Chains A and B, each alone.
Chain A
């Protein structure tokens, strides 16, 4: 038995998301309630005892006595405060004094775990909207302006599917991943979570076939003059942001290939999000392709 398993675990929960079962155990039962808002989109209670992945969360408390490796002396009275620890399997994921940071880390680690190991789904880091019954997928890394473009298209009337992951099934259809949009409203890189309804938008409830793949990033002052990508280039544009790309490349390429075969793929820098959104939607409407 591992040392971690011998610790006193007071409570736990297991849930299922995208075919993956994940368990969390903790030394403090009251933290479970605070965990719920941090569980990944699409989770449901599982109740099984054997899970695919196990997280262990040790919540620290302020005490007079504790072992030096997990404590830090804080405050004028020199009280000892235990670190909060999160283990992903047997690996220490984070050691922090801030419980909020612990929860945020749990959220991002679980989300990544699901994105990498989801069964029968391929997760691509991308924004997705629906327009005229087809999806527009915008693959890209953080800070490329993906969410701003998604928000602009939603304000222009597109339905919202995701600002984080394009979740494809084997047929190449994209499923909604309906978390609030993570907008960076100021210059300070801090994200604000905005429900799609606050933008005057509507979320899509159904999966869609992909009509367009837009490989773009924000460049100050740029105007949207895209070029067409070949099917192969479109696959590479998505693969560059695919979470399980290395874990299961054969299955991933097959799915992305299906997407690219049916979609028009465009690549180019963009400037203002609202202007680019209007141009993209107009281009989709007119059925034009770039040359």
Chain B
């Protein structure tokens, strides 16, 4: 399938971006989520400009990262970027709307072992509130919110359960 569909626009507002050697770290100031984009996801995200087409993107991935020319890889990245709320435009594939699973793409492209690492991966965490990152309190200790307690529950009498 040769798609002339253009890539969605990447989001730029309310983000802190740190480029690393092979990855990109993105902190979402609205959601307090941090994302680590591997090389492939980073390259796709950097080309989400609303003008590059999906087929052009597949060529770029082939040229820069030696990935087989396959638009499904691009759609997989777009889908993950969309889930991470890093795009401004819609992340849906036209016509079918279905994005193949990572495992399917790996199988179809015959990627095994280290080569599979070339597929787009976005690892995300929720940044902790200060109180959640500190030592939590044991059962029976005084508390005002659940975040202070190791159990996550501040019970009756303002004591951790």
Binding site for B on A (CB under 8 A): 93-96, 101, 104-105, 108, 111-112, 115-116, 124-125, 141-143, 164, 182, 189-191, 230-233, 235-236, 239-247, 249-250, 253-254, 257, 260-261
Which residues of the other chain, A, contact B24 by a CB distance below 8 angstroms?
Answer: 232
Q: Is the CB of B150 within 8 A of A242?
A: no
Report B19 CB to chain A, min CB distance, Å: 9
Q: Is the CB of A246 within 8 A of B127?
A: yes
Task: Tell me the nearest residue of chain A to B35, going by C-beta.
Answer: A236
Task: Tell me the nearest residue of chain B to A94, going by C-beta.
Answer: B142
Which residues of the other chain, A, contact B136 by a CB distance below 8 angstroms?
Answer: 141-143
Q: Is the CB of A108 within 8 A of B135?
A: yes
For the complex of A and B, the 3 pairs showing the least CB-CB separation, nearest first, are A232-B36, A232-B23, A189-B138
Binding site for A on B (CB under 8 A): 16, 18, 20-25, 27, 29, 32, 34, 36-38, 123, 125, 127-131, 133-139, 141-142, 144, 150, 158
Q: Is the CB of B18 within 8 A of A257?
A: yes
Report A172 CB to chain B, min CB distance, Å: 13
Residue in contact with A245 in the complex, picked from B20, B128, B150, CB distance below 8 Å:
B128
Which residues of the other chain, A, contact B139 by a CB distance below 8 angstroms?
Answer: 189
Task: Tell me the nearest residue of chain B to A147, going by C-beta.
Answer: B135
Q: Is the CB of B133 within 8 A of A245?
A: yes
Q: How far is the CA of A164 from the CA of B133 in the complex (A)?
A: 11
Q: Is the CB of B127 within 8 A of A111?
A: no
Task: Tell me the nearest residue of chain B to A191, going by C-beta.
Answer: B138
Residue in contact with B130 in the complex, picked from A104, A115, A231, CB distance below 8 Å:
A115
Q: Is the CB of B127 within 8 A of A94?
A: no
Which residues of the other chain, B, contact A243 by a CB distance below 8 angstroms?
Answer: 128, 130, 133-134
Which residues of the other chain, B, contact A190 by a CB distance below 8 angstroms?
Answer: 138
Which residues of the other chain, A, contact B34 by a CB distance below 8 angstroms?
Answer: 235-236, 239, 245, 249, 253
Task: Tell me the nearest residue of chain B to A231, going by C-beta.
Answer: B20
Q: Is the CB of B27 within 8 A of A236?
A: no
Residue in contact with B23 in the complex, picked from A143, A230, A245, A254, CB distance below 8 Å:
A230
Q: How far is the CA of A261 from the CA of B18 in the complex (A)?
A: 13
